[in-house]
Amino acid sequence: MHKHKAEGVIPQYLLKKLANEGNEKAKESIVRTKEILKKRMDKPIKRERDVTISSAQPVRDHNPDRHIYDCEHTESRRKKLARSEGDPATNDDDVNRAYDFSGICLDYFKNVLNRNSIDNLGMDLIFNVNYGENFLNAFWDPNRQEMVFGDGDGKTFLSFTRSLDVIAHEKAHGITEYTNNLEYAQQSGALNEHFSDVIGSAVKQHAKRESADSADWLIGNEIVGPEFGGIALRSLKEPGTAFTNDPQPNHMSKYKDLPVNEDGDYGGVHINSGIPNKAFFLVSMEIGTDNAAILWYNAWNNREYLHRHAQFKDAFEAILKTAQTLSSQGMMPYNTEEAVKRAFSEVGIYSLVGV
């Protein structure tokens, strides 16, 4: 069994590519990320209790508070509390963006997904911004139950708080942890990354009042710098087009069978996620992005299909079953079930399932 892993919004293979091109900050970020992850994986995830709650249950009354810490360009987390719930804006843009964007995420979770914060019990949000010297990453730490955001180097990457979808992406990793805790390797790991991209894109579109056909469907386009060599980290609409030599496939015929180690992106978790990402885009184009996000979120709570080691075909079955249930209850458009079948057929997953 593979240990639970998580990298950050910038995968190791991309940081190594940049390091090989002479980016010294990428080299430093690789070393530091490895150190963080090793410490994290050596400790079990501690919770007061195992929380898995159906999205059909009412949202809890407790309102989560936001606590934004300024690392002051050191590697010490929770170094200086810069802004807490209800406090006025500061003169630090990273602190204010973390506060404001996390509020947008919380509102989306509550009002669209009917979820109260990451754990559905009103968990307070802990952010660490201005982490390290030009640190090139952002991540959710499941052991410490907090988020960390670097400032970027101003060339390859800008500050990671600049992107609403990146903040939502990292928080969605927490949701996955509290629902099905998908193993971070191969297809289950790709589904883990996929769900974070789904929620990141949905939150951004909702906040910008975009429709599925007017959205850019890009992840992290606000954080890429002038020397990045692309327009974003990923594209859900056209996987494989976000940057030069973007390795994401858009169909199972192009699936990349990679080794389960950091050089292989833990079996392609950031790479093969392009396949279900494309399916989400296609479903959204038929029923709307918020409806698709509700559908995916409810499927994520279905442990019968989406267990810890779930594969792409399991995700399809969970989403299809959820589409049938919600449509029969009048909670989804009439064409949702067929939209799901068409989308997963177009990316080559539906044909893998004997239904």
- Residues carrying an active site annotation: 170, 270
C-alpha 99/C-alpha 313 separation (Å) is 37
Around Cβ 338, how many Cβ atoms within 10 Å? 12
C-alpha 129/C-alpha 104 separation (Å) is 18
**Secondary structure class of 115 (helix, strand, coil):** coil
> Which tokens hold the place of 99?
């506060």
Secondary structure of 12-81 as H, E, C letters: HHHHHHHHHCCCHHHHHHHHHHHHHHHHHHCCCCCCCCCCCCCCCCCCCCCCCCEEEEECCCCCCCCCEE
50, 51, 52, 57: CA torsion to nearest 10: 150
CA atoms within 13 A on the CB side of 168: 28
Best CA proximity match to 17, nearest among 136, 168, 112: 136
The CA–CA distances, whole Å, from 73 to 134, 135, 148, 152, 248 equal 8, 9, 12, 11, 33
> Which tokens hold the place of 110?
């509550």
20, 21, 27, 33: CA torsion to nearest 10: -80
Q: Which helix (H) or strand (E) holds 300?
A: helix 289-300
Cα torsion angle, 274, 279, 282, 287, sign: negative
